[in-house]
Amino acid sequence: MTPVVYLNGEFMPLQQAKVSVLDRGFLFGDGVYEVIPVYQGKVFRLKEHVQRLQRSLDATNIRLYKTEQSWGMLFEQVVAHNAPQAKELSIYVQVTRGVAEKRDHICPADIEPTLFVMATPVCISVDLDSVTGIRAITLPDNRWTRCYIKSVCLLPNILLKQQALDQGAEDVLLIRDGYVTEAAASNVFIVKNGLLQTPPKDNLILGGITRDLIVELAVQGDFQCQEKAISEAELAAADEIWVTSSTREIVPVIELNDKPVGDGNIGSMWYTVAKCFQAYKAQLAENR
């Protein structure tokens, strides 16, 4: 069955969704986006995703505002159109500054933003024993310094990830001024001597919703997490390294720059936190 998407006030089959070539998202990458998981048909961490989307919109002066409730209703409609095919989905929301009359860096103030929402089936394994670790490399973080904005301008991220793939790795951990920031499309955690650590939220990383949930689970759970700058040397000496995101959840990195991370196996802390994460998801689904 064809996916049904939402574009500027209407639901339609994916193939019918069309945007003008004068859309500033197409011409300039002038837009922001959000990716939101749906587990058991339920939108995950709606408030947090909507708040981050609004922050991205405000930071780029794209004038679109909806309440959390109206975003929630819109997402539920998109899910309802697509859920018969898949219960586990990932919602993609993109807002661009809109379509101006001509291509010009300076944009007229009165244009309407373009709003697009689609849902894609995802398959995330909840069987932790079937998870395999990934290989990663480090590369200099050559992106701009406003990485807290979830901008659709992802060319640096794409090129960095491709460089990792070209070198036989599955992901890239980014280093700026001697410190790890994040991965191409994920946040980074390390474990050293039983202590979980992740870089603090600042302008150099995207404040991940998955990252924040792990920090939150640490406060409630039986593990500790410290938000602190992590040097390249600390990264290299870590017992465990993970990358986290909404579409991949928590992924262990077992090899960094051709060297094993820790003993080269998935670490015990990963199991503890991944179990907590799955329990949290299951509990939310039960409380529907």
Distances in whole angstroms, Cα of residue 37 to Cα of each of 43, 93, 232, 240, 268 = 6, 11, 31, 26, 26
Q: Does 164 bind ligand PLP (CB under 6 A)?
A: no
174 near ligand PLP (CB under 6 A) = no
Signed CA dihedral, 216, 72, 12, 98: sign only: negative
CB of 185 to ligand PLP, least distance (A): 4
Instruction: Scan for tokens 């004038």, then name that residue.
Output: 63
Can residue 208 be called a binding residue for ligand PLP (CB under 6 A)? yes
Annotation says 150 is catalytic: yes
Q: Restricting to residues 16-75, name those near ligand PLP by CB under 6 A.
A: 35
Does 211 contact ligand PLP by CB under 6 A?
A: yes
Cα 267 from chain centre: 23
- In this structure, what are the phi and psi dihedrals at residue 258, rounded to the nearest 5 degrees? 70, 10
x/- string (CB under 6 A) for ligand PLP, residues 244-273? xxx---------------------------
Catalytic pick among 18, 47, 66, 150 = 150
Which of 186, 204, 230, 238: binder of ligand PLP (CB under 6 A)?
Answer: 186
Q: 10 Å Cβ neighbour count for 66?
A: 15
Characterise 264 by phi-psi region: left (phi > 0), alpha (psi -120 to 50), beta (else): left
Query: What is the arrangement of strands in the sheet containing 114-121, beginning at the earlier edge strand?
Result: 10-13, 4-7, 114-121, 89-96, 31-39, 42-43
Per CB under 6 A, 7 contacts ligand PLP: no
Q: What is d(CA 90, CA 248) in angstroms, rounded to the nearest whole number? A: 11
Q: Which one of the spans 1-9, 16-24, 181-189, 229-237 is the region binding ligand PLP (CB under 6 A)?
A: 181-189
Residue nearest to ligand PLP (CB): 208
Among 185, 214, 230, 251, binds ligand PLP (CB under 6 A): 185
Number of residues that bind ligand PLP (CB under 6 A): 13
Nearest distance in Å: CB 209, ligand PLP:
4
- Give the interface segment with ligand PLP, choosing from 4-12, 106-114, 183-191, 260-268 (CB under 6 A): 183-191
188: CB partners within 8 A, 6+ apart = 173, 180, 181, 182, 198, 199, 230, 235, 241, 242, 243, 244
Catalytically active residues, by annotation: 150
Which residues of the chain form contacts with ligand PLP (CB under 6 A)? 35, 182, 185-187, 206, 208-211, 244-246
